[in-house]
Structure 1
Amino acid sequence: MSHRRYGKWEGIYLAVPIFGTNKTIQAAINVAGLMERGIIGRVLLLKSSLDIEGNIREYGGYDCYVEELENTVDVVSIGETMVLFTPKIQGRMRYARSFLSRIGGAETNTLIGLAKLGYQTGWISRVGMDEFGSFILSTVRGEGVDTRHVTRDQEAPTGIFFKEKINEKNVCIYYYRKHSATSCLTPYHIDEDYIGSAKYLYITGITPALSDSCRESIFYAIELAKKHDVKVAFDPNVRRKLWSNEKEARRTLLEIAKLADIVMPGISEGTFLFGTEDCEAMAEGFHEHGAKTVVIKCGEKGAYYSTPCEKGFVESYKVEQVIDPVGAGDGFAAGVLSGLLDGLTLKESVQRGCAIGAIVTTVDGDIEGLPDREMLEAFISPTEIEDVSR
């Protein structure tokens, strides 16, 4: 694996102040056009800043290196990301007169969560040739996710959705995604080499519900993953309104679960598929359908995990106030996958998932609360210091 300093080698020197973040530097790399030219990699920050000739600068700063990863990625995912509009005031949306715009998508939420923890992630999708599509691409790319396999549709639009927050416990989502660009995704858009370069293929039950061609694309991607010994992680993430009928939804989701190495449903998904709210019964149902590892999200209670060799329950982390629960499950998935990538035990990985899920709920927005490693470690092992930045 090569380390190249993008500066002397590419004629571009990137420097950020001592308080610079990985996101800041990743954005600089994007602006410099490195990712546009097919150069991908994670940023390495060294606490000594060098000039173009390699001399140490007098001020304290960071030298920016990029660890070039060629075509390798830790996690690849396939799915739709849309533009999210949220009223600036709490209450019924009919009374809203101004909105905040963000991006939102289950798959990119998880990929961004992993990228913030330092993993190489890649996204396969389609967006419209419109301003919403440009907004999504610039945001996802700016968060450190490889978007080279996102294509743009000249005719179909980018999907949008609205989040109505009546209060902390009453949140309604309204989608406008029918015939969107992502629904036009086909197996043609799935690159075998890209899938084969990953350690995990992460998919949700949302994408196969968007269209017949999306469903074909998901099963084709799973086939490629199996061919190249890439592990498959699956969050059923049931969206009943997207399916033509519930029988087809159950059949498809259970077929994917059968092919997955790890399945991460919530209580509601397990109830939908097996008609029970009992975690052990749900896990057994998934095992009977071929799933090897099952991790069930139990909301504010924690999470239950089960394999043929072990099972257990992990309690959730407590937070002072829940601001926005949407996106917590995607953060949970990022935590579990990051733990497995780090070589942690399943229990330890689930504990990390619970931690990130809890952190996400304390911030408004799907991706805004996703932590980097420093934030995550501080949350898991808090120190007795005054909560004031000086």
Structure 2
Amino acid sequence: MNLIDGIRQGNFAVFGRAGMDMFADPPGTKAEHAETFKADLGGSSANICAGLCKLGMKSALVTSVSNDTVGRFCTNKLNGYGVDTQYIRVLDGEYRISLAVYESTMDDFQLCIYRNNAVDFQVTNEDVDRVDYSSFGALITAGTVFAAEPSRSSTFKAFENARAAGIPVIFDIDYRPYSWPSAEVAADVLSRAGEESDLIVGNDEEFGFMAGGIDKGLDKARELAAKGKFIIYKMGQEGAITLWKDEEIRTGIYPAVAVKPNGAGDSFMAGLLAGIAEGRPIKEAVQRGSACASIVVSKPGCAPSMPTTSQLDAFLATQSGPTGS
């Protein structure tokens, strides 16, 4: 199955972490001065799952969660967003689900992530072999899943399983230095993941990191595109370059009053894939992803601020178009 046909099935197996987000309330409150926090689903892959479901797609998360109240909180939230949780394994012991504490203000924004003994790194070959790949249109993963073993090897095993089932692989580079043993290991592993993927999404720093220098990022993206891969090269406020079938499509961003920077990439991925699944032209699908990112950074929380299709359409109806396109 080719990439576009796979995405158009609108049903995705997503590998990576779920976590709990705690964000200071009300918006504008610094976390260290907060008396109240709100909690919801977090974690890059879980956010992508929730974003896809809110846009009318189907998603299943493949991960591990801790056998405690926080693990059950995240599983319940995933179910509430409509995510298929049949491939989530519950682990006893001292492994813990990720916790992110942050605030809804761009004034010296602070994000504190607790990842010690992260349970999502414990996904095994047996876990990924349980997945019925033939029932999905594509596999999605975020780069954090590759930062440690056994999930690094098991996710590469999932790539093999996807290939055997004839479904494409979608990779969000999502480089988080704090998760990795060294930059050298990260560059090697993420580069391998890129080589084995069909669609790669990353920002200029992430492609530059894979290439050995930020000034080489676009060249790296073009090199991968020349091998037939679908590339989204994000440039922050300058928009994005989509490289696909010998084309370079430049798109801008939708202005937003941001209250936080996190969650934008996850929402972008959900909006992009939903747009392609709906049969929209590639440029329009990328623009819808950008609109989703703008919506998410303008509201507290990540998963709860992901737009539904009607909310996305209502937002776009108020816009004259993205800047810089």
TM-score (norm 2): 0.88
Q: Which has the higher contact order (CA 8 A, sep 6+)?
A: 2
Gapped regions of structure 1 (runs ≥ 5): 1-71, 385-390
Residue by residue over 1:196-217, the C-alpha shift from the partner in whole angstroms, topping out at 9 and shown as x without a partner, is: 32111010110111x2110011
Q: RMSD of the alignment, in Å? A: 2.2
CA contact (8 A) 2:210 2:217 kept: no
Query: Counterpart of 2:71 in 1: which secondary structure?
Result: helix
1 or 2, which has the higher helix percentage? 2
- Say whether residues 1:190 and 2:120 are aligned partners: no
Give, in whole Å, the separation in 2 of the partners of 1:383 and 1:340. 21
C-alpha distance in structure 1 between counterparts of 2:277 and 2:94, whole Å = 36
Q: Whole-Å Cα distance in 2 between the matches of residues 166 and 143 of structure 1?
A: 22
Select which of 242, 253, 264 maps to 2:179: 242
CA distance in 1, matches of 2:217, 2:284: 19
Query: 1:156/1:184 Cα in 2 relative to 1: closer, same or farther (>3 Å)?
Result: farther
How far does residue 333 in structure 1 lie from its aligned partner after superposition? Answer: 0.4
CA distance in 1, matches of 2:244, 2:130: 30
CA shift at 1:73, angstroms?
A: 6.9
SS at match of 1:379: helix
**Structure with greater Cα Rg:** 1
CA displacement, residues 134-155 of structure 1 (integer Å, 9 cap, x when unaligned):
1001101110000011111111
Instruction: Report whether the alignment pairs 1:357 with 2:305.
Output: no
Measure, in 1, the Cα distance between the counterparts of 2:273 and 2:44.
14
Structure 2 distance, partners of 1:301, 1:208, is 29
Counterparts of residues 238-277 of structure 1 (less than 5 Å): 238-274=175-211, 275-277=213-215
Hey, what's the Cα distance between the residues in 2 that align with 1:253 and 1:383?
Answer: 36
**Equivalent residue letter for 2:224:** F
Judge conservation of contact 2:55–2:271 (CA < 8 Å) in 1: no
Contact 2:59 2:83 in 1 (8 A): yes
Distance 1:297 1:132, change over 3 A: same
Does residue 79 of structure 2 align to residue 107 of structure 1?
no
Which of 279, 303, 308 is the aligned partner of 1:367? 303
What letter matches 2:180 in structure 1? W
TM-score by length of 1: 0.74
- Whether 1:133 and 2:65 are equivalent positions in the alignment is no
The answer for unaligned runs of 5 or more in structure 2 is 1-8, 321-325
Shift in Å at residue 223 of structure 1? 0.5
- Distance in 2, matches of 1:276 and 1:285, equals 15
Q: Contact 1:266–1:296 (CA<8 Å) still a contact in 2?
A: yes
Q: Does residue 232 of the first structure (1) align with residue 169 of the second (2)? A: yes
- Kept in 1, the 8 Å contact 2:43–2:98? The answer is no
Q: CA deviation at 1:131?
A: 0.4
- 8 Å CA contact 1:237–1:265 kept in 2: the answer is yes
Deviations 1:222-269 (A, max 9, x none): 101111111111011001111111111011101111111110001221
Q: Percent identity?
A: 25
- The alignment partner of 1:269 has SS state of helix
Contact 1:200–1:232 (CA<8 Å) still a contact in 2? yes
Change (3 A) 1:87 1:291: farther
How many pairs does the alignment contain?
Answer: 310
Superimposed CA distance per residue, residues 314-337 of structure 1 (whole angstroms, 9 cap, x where no aligned partner): 111123x11222101100001111
**Compared with structure 1, are the counterparts of its residues 297 and 82 closer, same or farther at alpha carbon in structure 2 (3 Å cutoff)?**
same
